[in-house]
């Protein structure tokens, strides 16, 4: 039920029977604006598209990251692993990026992680991990698993 602004103005209170608005759903595709100045002084502006990864694409990110790492993941310094993961994610989740994004995102960490932050936030908001403020609905889990395996020692 929408908020009654007229009643609010007249009484100074909200209608206690009004339900809170439903949170907006986030689309699988998210358009965002990127403005960038390269180290060479070239200015760029582009509207980019993030698309939520499907299961195969998520595996593709992992494969690209592993191939790019060249060693086992646990041998990489943490910062380097984060950089490789961000590059692989951008390569798959960012749809049809212009050449300048592909070039500079692999060289300029500020650009790389700025784009990655948008993609990561899109994924989080899409799967309702946005940590929205509010009552119980904000704290409810989307997934609940109940199994006798987690109840401690099972009778054999």
Q: Report pLDDT digits (tens) over 32-89.
A: 999 999 999 999 999 999 999 999 999 999 999 999 999 988 899 999 999 999 999 9
Residue 97 lies in a domain: yes
Other residues' Cβ atoms within 10 Å of the Cβ of residue 45: 9
Residue 81 lies in a domain: yes
What is the rounded average pLDDT of the residues 116-138?
74
Residue 69 lies in a domain: yes
Residue 13 lies in a domain: no
Residue 47 lies in a domain: yes
Whole-model pTM: value is 0.73
Residue 156 lies in a domain: no
Residue 8 lies in a domain: no
Give the model's pLDDT for residue 135.
41
Give the model's pLDDT for residue 143.
76
Query: Which residue would you say has higher pLDDT here, 128 or 96?
Result: 96
Domain interval for residue 60: 27-129
Our count of domains for the chain comes to 1
Q: How many residues does this entry show for the chain?
A: 156
Can you read off the two tokens belonging to residue 94? 């960012």
Residue 10 · residue 63 · CB < 8 Å: no
Residue 70 lies in a domain: yes
């Amino acid at each position: 039920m929408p908020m009654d602004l007229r009643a609010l103005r007249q009484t100074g209170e909200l209608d206690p029977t009004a339900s809170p608005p439903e949170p907006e759903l986030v689309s699988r595709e998210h358009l965002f604006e990127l403005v960038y100045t390269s180290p060479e002084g070239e200015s760029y502006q582009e509207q980019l598209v993030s698309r939520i990864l499907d299961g195969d694409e998520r595996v593709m990110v992992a494969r690209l990251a592993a191939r790019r790492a060249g060693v086992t993941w646990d041998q990489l310094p943490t910062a380097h692993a984060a950089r490789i993961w961000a590059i692989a994610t951008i390569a798959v989740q960012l749809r049809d990026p212009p050449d300048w994004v592909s070039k500079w995102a692999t060289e300029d960490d500020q650009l790389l992680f700025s784009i990655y932050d948008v993609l990561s936030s899109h994924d989080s908001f899409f799967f309702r991990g946005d940590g929205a403020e509010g009552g119980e609905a904000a704290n409810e889990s989307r997934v609940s698993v109940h199994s006798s395996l987690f109840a401690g020692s099972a009778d054999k």
